[in-house]
Amino acid sequence: MTVGSLSDSVGRRPVLLIALALEVVSMIAFTAADGLALLLLARVVQGFATGAAISALGSALIDLERAPGHGVTVNSIAPTLGLALGAIGSSIISEHLPRPTETIYLVFLVLFVLEIVGIWAAPETVPSQPGALASMRPVLAVPSSALGTPSNAISLR
């Protein structure tokens, strides 16, 4: 709710790089956690980082799409596919590799570092512009196009 539009002001790469760095920090905290306090802190950091990354990555995919509509399709499929593959992969790693409560976080840590390298090499798609702090203010709104009733709408009266 707070950093969703930040990449429109500062660029996609900076937001993604910071989000991925926070993901790395959270994986280190998960790996080192020996109690509830560090687990909760790691989860909060991971949640914030994931929220920032999803928004900026979705925008970057649309910015870089070659054929109109493909970015939207990838953005709608990727979260569900990622959750499914993550659950399957985590289950396999936890079941068949040593130290199941630590190994999965180390695997993700390596993946996040690789993603940092990839994002570092990727082109920036949005130039930096003023308004970064203002973009972090939550705004709840309904697009005006969604407020009207279409003439072909089905009435349930």
- pLDDT at 136 > cutoff 70: no
Average pLDDT of the segment spanning 69-84 = 83
Task: Give the CA distances from residue 40 to residues 26, 88, 109, 119, in Å, rounded to whole numbers and listed in that order.
Answer: 10, 23, 18, 28
- What is the pLDDT, as a whole number, of residue 73? 81
Cα(105)–Cα(79) distance, integer angstroms: 19
The domains of the chain, with CATH numbers, are: 6-147 (1.20.1250.20)
Q: Classify burial at 146, counting beta carbons within 10 Å of its beta carbon; exposed 0-12, middle 13-18, buried 19 or more.
A: exposed
- Give the residue-averaged pLDDT of 86-97: 90
Q: Does pLDDT of 95 surpass 70? A: yes
Inter-CA distances, 104 with 43, 69, 75, 112, Å: 15, 34, 25, 12
The Cα–Cα gap between 59 and 15 comes to 11
Token code pair at residue 34: 């020996």
> How far apart, in whole angstroms, are the C-alpha atoms of residue 55 and residue 50?
9
CA distances for 133 relative to 2, 9, 85, 99, 119, angstroms? 10, 9, 35, 42, 23
Residue 100 reports pLDDT greater than 90: no
Instruction: Tell me how long the chain is.
Output: 157
For residue 125, pLDDT over 90 is answered with no
From the CB of residue 77, how many other CB atoms can be counted at a distance below 10 Å?
Answer: 10
- Token look-up 């998960």 returns 30
Per-residue pLDDT, averaged over 41-49, amounts to 94
Q: In sequence order, which residues have a C-beta less than 8 Å from that of residue 71 and are 6 or more positions away?
A: 58, 61, 62, 63, 64, 65
**pLDDT tops 60 at residue 156:** no
Which residue in this structure is represented by tokens 């396999």? 92
